[in-house]
A and B are shown apart, each in its own frame.
Chain A
Amino acid sequence: MRNFFGRVSGITIVAGLLFMSISAMNRGEALSMDQHTWSAGEKAILRSLWIGSLGPLPVDPSNKYSDNPQAAALGRKLFFEDHFSGNMKVSCATCHREDYFFTDNLPLSHGMATTPRRSMPLIGVAYNSWFFWDGRTDSLWSQALGPIESKLEHGISRTMSAYIISKYYRKEYEQLFGPLPDFMEETFPQHARPALDDPDALKAWVLMTPDQREEVNKVYVNMGKAIAAFVRTILPQPSPFDRYVEQILAGENITSRMALTDDEAAGLRLFIGKAKCTNCHNGPLFTNSDFHNLGLPQKNKDAPPDKGRAAAITEVLSNEFNCLGKYSDAHPDDCPELRFIDTSHRKYVGAFKTPTLRSVTERPPYMHAGQFATVREVLEFYRSQAKNPELGHSGLTDRELDQLEAFLHTLSSPVSSLQAEEK
């Protein structure tokens, strides 16, 4: 009898200790686990996040110039050309700065005036299905044209754009797209566009002949397609995280030689596991290009709430420059994203596109209205406030947030893009 008690109590206490350590592990406390050993399933996830899984740039069937190097060279010049603005000071590069990962460092971008949203990073943007925070265009070339006619951004019109091209870029344009129409030589309305926010410009547009309008549209569209050919070349370089994945896939796991420290690897483990970041930040660009409402605080409480994707669904479907429109080079069968677009408005109220996390720690602030100045604030927000059931981050400790932040730093790398031609 006595032996029985002895043995059983011994076993019970050992089992109790085991239980405790298992539940401690479940609570995420650091044990002396090897941070660089990954299961087969985890390795598959790491591979899916690795830059080597990016694959070649997807063909854009709506833009037959998208892979044309000459178009990209012209597009680069247009990207940096600040004549394309009302005050001659705003170019695409104003809000998509080459020295700042092709975004800017402002909570709300500023072209001709302050806009209601932050500039999006253009790193690997060509892999997206939808463009802008709300996905209101379905191609990179139609996205490039949006800011030109926006009063707050470039603040000019398509007629002015055509005029500028004819004045400064005639040769490059004609080499690619054929002769610029003769009527460019005459004086024609400088500010005419199908505007809802500018009655004078709209009137001037309507007073043009259909042929004139068509010619202007063609030039405008070609400009967008050239810019898109350049923006397609903006791609991330391999980062420490990518080197780490290569090490893991090659079977290395000697702590002192790994490209990630123990803490960074712990952060990665959280990123793909308990913190569920890969629900939305998945794939080699760390984005699923889909739209989610995180319950973010509204930037300007006096303004009407930003409806995000919900307002953009109708916009993209009716945009004259979408994949199914007449300026698109695509066959209707090549426009699956548009044909099968999710039109459920209610689902997408206040939902914004998941941005890429490549080099995220190098380019504050964060979220669609720059609500957070630091990555740590973003992580704290996710942990404590996100109302979205897909996030479920409430159980993260401060130490775990430290580790996540450390991991995010390992996604930093230079960005490559087509460079200017030697003169």
Chain B
Amino acid sequence: MRRVLFIIGILFFLLIGCAAQKEQTAGHMEKMTEDTGHAEAGQMEEMAAEHGHGDVKVTKHFDESLTKLTDNNLYSLELVIPDKHLMMGVNTIEIIVHHATGGDVAQADLTVTPWMPSMGHGVLQKPVVTERGGGLYSVDNVVLSMTGHWQLQVKVAKDDKTDTAVFDFPEVKAMGHEHAMMHAPPPEDLDYATMKMTANNAFNVMYSSIGGQIRINRIHSWELSIKDTAGEPVNDATVTIVGDMPEHGHGLPTEPEVKRIGAGGLYRIDGMKFTMPGWWVVTVSVMANGVHDSVSFNLNIL
């Protein structure tokens, strides 16, 4: 009897665990890993993909994929994204690489680089490429750290033939409201430090709000202090500011301006404003002495 109770208890536990779990989005990953053998070089299929240049027609494997020819027309790339959209956060994508004339490209050296053109920065985390066979490569750990305009630069190198294509994503958003993640609070281990090194350790940036604690819905100013790795103040930097709520993707409600204030690596940001409570990320991009780097600060606005 007790054994039966024990088993019932375990089943109960499992049931509750399943009920409490959020629904996982079923990826198109299942389809991907099937053998994607296809036409040999020279064969044309009915479905012609749209390319930015030239009339080279290559079979598309999936209706919803993005296809592009590389800049020197050496390769054709088919990019498949689950749910059709890249999202802020961690993405996994698949890329099918063909020669321009149609054949699979196996054992190529594929590099995928996320880049934000308006911000002039990439990401710290490097995407991980795994070859699956038949010209198919899966790319994990494509981390887009904020919403906005992103590009994925895909470089293919094989047999001394290297070529690149850039895929443009003008509006990468945070996950939609129907996704369970929307209700998740910010990560528990979020660091709210007000002084940090930039992503590639080029600068040390510290911020403080002028006039005391930041109050919601009030335009206020920040003071920034920028130093180099030797601890020397960085004057003459070009500084740009963007901000966002990672869970919402609406950006800052104002367009702040940065001014240098005297020597000592001090700058003032005027026009800062937060109109919603919660987790904000403000990213400071610094360009000085030919070096360009950026750092993101987390804030919890009450």
Contact = CB atoms under 8 A, between A and B. Distances in A.
A37 B188 CA distance: 24
A19 B253 contact: no
Interface stretch (A90-98, A225-233, A386-394): A386-394
13 contacts: A11-B9, A12-B10, A13-B9, A16-B16, A23-B16, A282-B216, A283-B216, A336-B270, A342-B252, A342-B255, A389-B176, A392-B182, A394-B178
Contacts of A290: 217, 253, 275-276
B12 interface: yes
Contacts of A45: 277, 302
Interface string A273-296: 010001110110000111000000
Task: State the 4 A-B residue pairs at the shortest beta-carbon distance, nearest first.
Answer: A340-B271, A12-B9, A9-B5, A5-B2
A6 interface: yes
Interface of B: 2-3, 5-6, 8-10, 12-13, 16-17, 19-20, 173-178, 182-183, 216-217, 219, 245, 247-257, 270-271, 273, 275-278, 302
A288 B248 contact: no
Contacts of A341: 254-255
Given A288-B276, A389-B173, A342 B217 contact: no
Given A347-B251, A389-B249, A12 B178 contact: no
A339 interface: yes
A48 B19 contact: no
A9 B276 contact: no
B302 A394 contact: no
Nearest to B2: A5
A8 interface: yes
Interface of A: 2, 5-6, 8-13, 15-16, 19-20, 23, 26, 44-45, 48, 129, 274, 278-280, 282-283, 288-290, 336-337, 339-344, 347, 386-392, 394-395
Contacts of B6: 5, 8-9, 12
Contacts of B216: 48, 282-283, 288
A174 B3 CA distance: 96
A389 B178 CA distance: 8
B177 A339 contact: no
Nearest to B256: A340
Nearest to A7: B2
B178 to A, nearest CB: 7
B253 A342 contact: yes
B196 to A, nearest CB: 24
Contact of B217 (A13, A282, A336, A344): A282
B147 to A, nearest CB: 10
A339 B276 CA distance: 21
Given A9-B5, A394-B177, A289 B217 contact: yes
B12 A5 contact: no
B177 A340 contact: no
A279 B253 CA distance: 13
Contacts of A19: 13, 16-17, 20
Given A13-B5, A45-B302, A336-B270, A289 B275 contact: yes
